[in-house]
């Protein structure tokens, strides 16, 4: 894992990440400050972004999490796996779903659809990274921190083989360059 990081290309520095975090928090505050939303963190990737974001939101909110994934230990998406549903009822609520990356958008779209079926009045999405993969996505995030190239990226919540979610910056594997 250390060799992979040493050979990786820095995509967004820690300073750029923190500036984007502040900007997204300001956008969310402007839009949701008067709504008392339910904020749902998508585990496990969304935990770094969501944890830092929550401290910057200056309005009352409820917090919970969910765990839906298409990746597991793999680097390519497969079938959606629902591991944990939110405990907090979403019926009649404005819900903000916070995740690490919008790649193909299939998982996040399924989460949004499920929350609407459960009665959420409005479902908004915040992702820290939006991958510029050239594919048509089933949804666009309402709040986006940064864009990343169509490469395998890691850091700031996104992992590489289970490691490096804890990096304060975003990197791409060099052997994955276009």
> Structure pTM?
0.91
Domain boundaries, given as residue ranges, for the chain:
2-176
CATH 3.40.50.720 fits 2-176, yes or no: no
Tens-digit pLDDT profile for residues 19-70: 999 999 999 999 999 999 999 999 989 999 999 999 999 999 999 999 987 6
pLDDT block averages, 10 residues each, the chain of length 178: 89 98 98 97 95 98 90 54 88 98 92 92 98 94 98 95 95 74
3-state SS of the chain? Answer: CHHHHHCCEEEECHHHHHHHHHHHHHHHHHHHCCCCCEEEEECCCCHHHHHHHHCCCCCCCEEEEEEEECCCCCCCCCCCEEEECCCCCCCCCEEEEEEEEECCCHHHHHHHHHHHHCCCCEEEEEEEEEEECCCCCCCCCCEEEEEEECCCEEECCECECCECCCCCCEEECHHHCC
């Amino acid at each position: 894992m250390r060799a992979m990081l040493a050979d990786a290309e820095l995509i967004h520095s820690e300073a750029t990440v923190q500036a984007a975090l502040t900007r997204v928090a300001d956008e969310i505050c402007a839009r949701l400050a008067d709504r008392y939303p339910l904020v749902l963190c998508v585990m496990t990737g969304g935990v770094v972004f969501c944890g830092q974001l929550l401290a910057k939101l200056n309005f009352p909110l409820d917090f919970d999490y969910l765990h839906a994934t298409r990746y597991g230990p793999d680097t390519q998406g497969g079938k959606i796996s629902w591991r944990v549903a939110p405990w907090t009822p979403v019926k009649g609520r404005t819900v903000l779903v916070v995740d690490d990356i919008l790649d193909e958008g299939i998982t996040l779209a399924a989460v949004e659809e499920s929350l609407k079926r459960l009665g959420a009045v409005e479902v908004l999405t915040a992702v820290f990274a939006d991958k510029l993969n050239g594919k048509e996505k089933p949804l666009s995030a309402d709040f986006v921190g940064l864009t990343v190239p169509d490469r395998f990226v890691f850091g700031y919540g996104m992992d590489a083989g289970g490691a490096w979610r804890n990096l304060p910056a975003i990197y791409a594997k060099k052997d994955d360059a276009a």
